[in-house]
């Protein structure tokens, strides 16, 4: 960037003290130490400090000033999302852990708010990455962080820039929050569509249409009888035949006229676990769908793994169009998510954390997927899930026993068509919202870019140039190095620890 008249550029270490916090150790809980609440990496978000979920550790009295923050200090994440920053304005005394950098300007003429916006601009422009070290995790080492340079306007102009940034970004943020509310409403809308579909409230029932048109129709009970009769005729005569167990209907709620409760076992030809063989990125093989490929009731094919075409489990574990995929193992909130394979990719298999349900003619796998993804299906998953090694699981036997409300076949097709129509509209709105959020992000970045190019507020030739400010800081540092006392800050004493912020469960922010 080209510097304007009165501006200077300098690295952080020239005009601010930058220090990492205290590392947590077993000694931090020893008796006799001054106990303080402290901030961690996760407490510092872009633009605000979250004061919920604070922890405590002990400090020696002589450590208090070194490891505490004051209003106006800039806190910057060393790890997690390196560079994420916020200006602290909360209660004191408050300590901070080693996962954070504390940036404290050496004089009042440097705005930590401006520096926080500079870091956000660098992160958004992809320019902060050169300072980030790559080990097992990303982090921003102190030695590298201190060398980040800031285009420094005159002190008065800094204040004008910050005020204008905040004014403009507040309008952008208001729009972003409105868009996020729309996203939440879309989630609720999708859930309400699926719930209505599974309760017979989305389209006219087959019973109502038949009555209005003066005709007969095949009820779901009759349809189930036909499905089971076909099952018997196709049974291997060498094996003893037994009808699959049906649901415990007396314990289930009433259904619309013409509907029937059925078990998944009654309407499926098979329920099978996928392959546990190791997959690769070799796209010459057969794509293998995994639990991450099921997203919001559909298949996301952007990230695929593969098995060799000669794999020993093929063709048994190859999918057919209409197969339902049920995620049997995942986190508690995601286990049970389901989608239907529609024939793309043309040759495809599935991994062991998925169960394939292949349905008999007369039952629509898409309707079953809608039920599994509906609030009714989510409640069923929560009622049968088990926990194993930190993962939630729903077995194939539990899926087979699941009771499904089955409409007549013609009504199934109408429900599927209407659900897909409505969800397609919702998907269109969601895409519009995401595009608007992306535009808001670009607008935010544009505002910051203009600010640091000196194009956001007018310059005032009467402002003291930033070079004079830097000269004073250098003079004070030289005087301190020569043995003259530096200006003293307010000390934090053990008695200050009694000034505690009231605890509470609500989300509190220090901006």
How many domains does the chain fold into? Answer: 3
Per DSSP, the residues of 132-172 read -EESSSEE--HHHHTT-EEEE--HHHHHHHHHHHHHHHHHH
**297 assigned to some structural domain:** yes
The answer on 399 and 312 residing in a single domain is: yes
Tell whether 167 and 89 lie within a shared domain.
Answer: no
CA atoms within 13 A on the CB side of 63: 18
**Cβ-count burial of 80 within 10 angstroms (0-12 exposed, 13-18 middle, 19+ buried)?**
middle
Strand-pair partners of 68: 95
pLDDT attached to residue 489: 44
Is 503 in the same domain as 370? no
> Which residues, at least 6 apart from 352, have a Cβ–Cβ distance to it below 8 Å?
273, 274, 275, 276
Q: Are 436 and 387 in contact (CB under 8 A)?
A: no
d(CA 348, CA 158): 59
Do 132 and 93 sit in the same domain of this protein? yes
Q: What is the CATH number of the domain that holds 373?
A: 3.90.220.20
65 and 147, same domain (yes or no) = yes
Residues 398 and 258 placed together within one structural domain of the fold: yes
User: Which DSSP string do the residues of 434-488 spell out, in sequence order?
Assistant: HHHHHHHHHHHHHHHHHHHTT-SS---TTSPPHHHHHHHHHHHHHHHHTTPPPPP
| Residue listed under structure tokens 């269109």 | 428
Say if residue 498 is in the same domain as residue 426: no
**Are 288 and 309 contained in the same domain?**
yes
- pLDDT of amino acid 509: 59
Which candidate, 4, 2, 3, 1, places its Cα nearest to that of 458?
Answer: 4
Tracing tokens 């030695």 back to the chain, one arrives at 143
pLDDT score, position 506? 37
DSSP string spanning 346-410?
SS-EEBTTEEEEEEPTTS-HHHHHHHHHSHHHHHHHHHH-EEETTEEE--HHHHHH-EEEE--HH
| Inside any domain, residue 112 | yes
Q: Are residues 439 and 473 in the same domain?
A: no
Same domain, 52 and 162: no
25, 109: one domain:
yes
Give the pairing type, strands 16-20 and 100-105: antiparallel
In a domain, 284, yes or no: yes
Q: Is residue 73 part of a domain?
A: yes
Q: What is the pLDDT of residue 26?
A: 66
3-state secondary structure of 251: helix
Any domain includes 277:
yes
Domain that holds residue 358: 218-233+242-407
- Whether residue 2 lies inside any domain: the answer is no
Domain assignment present for residue 257? The answer is yes
Looking at the structure, tell me whether residues 92 and 118 fall in a common domain: yes
Residue 3 counted as domain residue? no
Q: What is the pLDDT along the chain (511 residues), one digit of tens a residue?
A: 678 999 999 999 999 999 999 988 766 566 678 889 999 999 999 999 999 999 998 888 888 889 999 999 999 999 889 999 999 999 999 999 999 999 999 988 999 999 999 999 999 999 998 888 877 788 999 999 999 999 999 999 999 999 999 999 999 999 999 999 999 999 999 999 999 999 999 999 999 999 999 999 999 999 999 999 999 998 877 788 888 999 998 999 999 999 999 999 999 999 999 999 999 999 999 999 999 999 999 999 999 999 999 999 999 999 999 999 999 999 999 999 999 999 999 999 999 999 999 999 988 999 999 999 999 999 999 999 999 888 999 999 999 999 999 999 999 999 999 999 999 999 999 999 999 999 999 999 999 999 999 999 999 999 999 999 999 999 888 887 777 555 544 434 333 433 334 333 334 555 5
Determine contact, residues 327/274, Cβ cutoff 8 Å: no
């Amino acid at each position: 960037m080209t510097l304007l008249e009165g501006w200077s550029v300098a690295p952080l270490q020239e005009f601010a003290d930058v220090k990492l916090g205290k590392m947590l150790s077993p000694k931090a809980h020893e008796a006799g130490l001054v106990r303080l609440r402290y901030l961690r990496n996760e407490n510092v978000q872009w633009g605000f400090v979250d004061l919920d979920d604070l922890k405590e550790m002990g400090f020696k009295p002589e450590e208090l000033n070194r490891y505490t923050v004051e209003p106006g200090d800039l806190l910057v994440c060393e790890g997690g999302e390196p560079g994420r920053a916020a200006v602290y304005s909360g209660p004191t005394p408050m300590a901070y852990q080693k996962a954070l950098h504390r940036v404290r300007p050496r004089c009042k003429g440097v705005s930590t708010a401006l520096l926080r916006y500079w870091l956000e601009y660098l992160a958004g422009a992809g320019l902060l990455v050169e300072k980030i070290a790559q080990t097992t995790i990303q982090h921003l080492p102190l030695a590298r962080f201190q060398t980040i340079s800031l285009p420094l306007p005159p002190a008065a102009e800094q204040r004008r820039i910050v005020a204008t940034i905040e004014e403009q970004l507040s309008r952008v943020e208001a729009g972003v929050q409105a868009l996020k509310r729309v996203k939440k409403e879309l989630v609720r809308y999708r859930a309400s569509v699926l719930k209505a579909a599974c309760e017979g409230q989305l389209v006219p029932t087959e019973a109502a249409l038949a009555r209005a048109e003066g005709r007969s129709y095949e009820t779901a009970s009759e349809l189930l009888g036909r499905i089971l009769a076909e099952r018997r005729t196709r049974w291997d005569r060498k094996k003893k035949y037994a009808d699959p167990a049906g649901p415990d209907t007396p314990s289930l709620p009433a259904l619309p006229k013409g509907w029937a409760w059925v078990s998944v076992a009654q309407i499926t030809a098979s329920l099978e676990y996928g392959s546990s063989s190791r997959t690769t990125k070799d796209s010459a093989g057969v794509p293998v769908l995994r639990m991450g490929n099921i997203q919001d009731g559909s298949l996301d094919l952007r990230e695929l793994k593969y098995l060799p075409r000669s794999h020993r489990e093929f063709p048994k574990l190859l999918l057919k169009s209409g197969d339902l995929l049920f995620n049997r193992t995942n986190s508690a909130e995601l286990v049970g998510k389901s989608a239907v394979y529609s024939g793309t990719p043309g040759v495809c298999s599935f991994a062991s954390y998925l169960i394939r349900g292949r349905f008999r003619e007369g039952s629509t796998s898409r309707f079953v997927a809608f039920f599994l993804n509906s609030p009714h299906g989510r409640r069923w998953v929560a009622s049968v899930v088990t926990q194993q090694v930190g993962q939630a699981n729903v077995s194939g036997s539990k899926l087979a026993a699941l009771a499904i409300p089955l409409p007549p076949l013609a009504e199934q097709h109408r429900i599927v068509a209407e659900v897909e129509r409505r969800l397609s509209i919702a998907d269109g709105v969601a895409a519009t919202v995401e595009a608007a959020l992306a535009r808001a992000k670009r607008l935010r970045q544009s505002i910051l870019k203009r600010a640091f190019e000196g194009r956001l507020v007018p310059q005032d030739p009467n402002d003291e140039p930033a070079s004079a400010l830097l000269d004073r800081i250098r003079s004070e540092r030289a005087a301190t190095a020569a043995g003259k006392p530096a200006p003293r800050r307010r000390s934090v004493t053990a008695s200050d620890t009694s000034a505690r912020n009231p605890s509470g469960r609500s989300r509190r922010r220090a901006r």
